A = this chain, B = another copy of it.
Amino acid sequence: MCRWLVYSGPPIHLDTVLFEPENSLINQSLHARLGASATNGDGFGIGWYGDRPAPGQFRDVLPAWNDDNLRSVAEQISSPLFFAHVRASTGTATSRSNCHPFRHASWLFMHNGRIGGFDRIRRELEMCIDPALYAARLGTTDSEALFYLMLTHGLDADPPGATRKAVAQVLALMAAAGTKEPFRLTAAASDGRRTVAIRYSSDAASPSLFYGRPALAGLDGGGGEPPIMILSEPLDADGETWIEVPEGHAVLLEDGEITVLAFSPDEPVMAPVRASA
């Protein structure tokens, strides 16, 4: 059910991260180790921050494992902050508009999981989207709808707070519809400066999520800050690098600092429970 990663650190060529590690994201598109489905071949996407105001976005419906354009673009693009996602559809159509990451102004967003019984609340959920943002929704996924809900709740002003309110609103709609299926997610959003990732599910059975400061080839090793990654599954078997994000927690990334917070839709976002790693 999808796999994704965020990279934040010194500029690096995307292929170093996407293709080269032992359990690279491209490898996970064909043989994910920790996901609900081993195969994530219903499309892929990357979003990356460069020297333009808005991030770049490149998405396609083909499996990531065999796409020459993805490899070529990843080889040529160097970025200090990027998102990458490989998709296993949970029901909505396979189209470029339904591939992650989604982009709005300077924001990128991607998601692994699903809003249970989405079809039953889709209409109400879409009605909660700020009318001024509504026309910007280009696809039909629950993921993109959640993104626009987060934007509606003030993602610009308070990323963790807006995420919490959006999740709470979805849960309220699900409760009102009598939905039994869970709402599960790991997700990440960024505006190029601040990044928030969360791991939360209404039944506390979230997809996997990790973070860490990997040593990667291709970086200038001379004293620079090690990069930070937040990702669905570790890129390798190095047990010391990768730290699991606990259920019901959020990870904030800003200025090279990681902060881990408890996350609950019912409570305002708490003060950090763990300092940056």
Residues of A within 8 A of B (CB): 13, 30, 38-39, 41-42, 48, 50-52, 54, 56-63, 66, 68-69, 72-73, 75-78, 89, 93-97, 119-120, 122-123, 126-127, 129, 131, 134-135, 137-140
Contact, CB under 8 Å: B97 / A140: yes
CB neighbours of A62 from chain B (8 A): 61-62, 94
Query: Which B residues lie within 8 Å of A73 (CB)?
Result: 56, 58, 73
Given contacts A39-B41, A73-B73, A93-B96, 9 further A-B contacts (CB under 8 A): A38-B39, A42-B66, A48-B76, A58-B72, A60-B69, A93-B97, A123-B129, A126-B126, A140-B140
Asked if residues B131 and A123 are in contact (CB atoms below 8 Å), the reply is: yes
In the bound assembly, the distance between CA atoms of A137 and B93 in angstroms comes to: 11
Is there contact, CB below 8 Å, between B68 and A96? yes
User: Which of A13, A89, A120, A135 has the most C-beta atoms of chain B within 10 angstroms of its own C-beta?
Assistant: A135
Across the interface, A76 reaches (CB within 8 A) one of B56, B75, B127, namely: B56
Closest chain B residue, CB of each to CB of A78: B51
The 6 sampled A-B contact pairs (Cβ below 8 Å) are A51-B78, A56-B72, A58-B73, A60-B69, A95-B96, A122-B135
Contact A89 B66 (CB under 8 A): yes
Question: What is the CA–CA distance of A87 and B57 in the complex, to the nearest angstrom?
Answer: 24
Q: How far is the CB of A50 from chain B (nearest CB, A)?
A: 5
Specify which chain B residues have a CB less than 8 angstroms from the CB of A139 in the assembled complex: 93, 140
A63 CA / B126 CA spacing, docked (Å):
30
| Residues on B with beta carbons closer than 8 Å to the beta carbon of A60 | 69
* Interface secondary structure of A, over-half rule: mixed
Cross-chain contact B75 with A56 (CB below 8 angstroms): yes
A94 touches B77 (CB 8 A): no
Complex Cα distance A77/B14, Å?
A: 13
Docked Cα-Cα span, A99 to B61, in Å, equals 16
Q: A66-B89, A96-B68, A97-B95 are in contact. Are A50 and B76 (CB under 8 A)?
A: yes
CA–CA, A61 and B62, complex, Å? 8
Chain B residues lying within 8 Å of A76, measured Cβ to Cβ, are 48, 50, 52, 56, 77
Chain B's closest residue to A132 (CB) is B123
Q: How far is the CB of A148 from chain B (nearest CB, A)?
A: 11
Q: Which residues of chain B are within 8 angstroms of A134 by Cβ–Cβ distance?
A: 122-123
Closest to A63 in B: B41
Name the distance in Å between A151's Cβ and chain B's nearest Cβ.
15
CA distance in complex: A142, B131 (Å): 17
Interface-central residue, A78, A89, A95, by most chain B CB under 10 Å: A95
Given the interface pairs A38-B38, A93-B138, A134-B123, the reply to whether A59 lies near B52 with Cβ below 8 Å is no
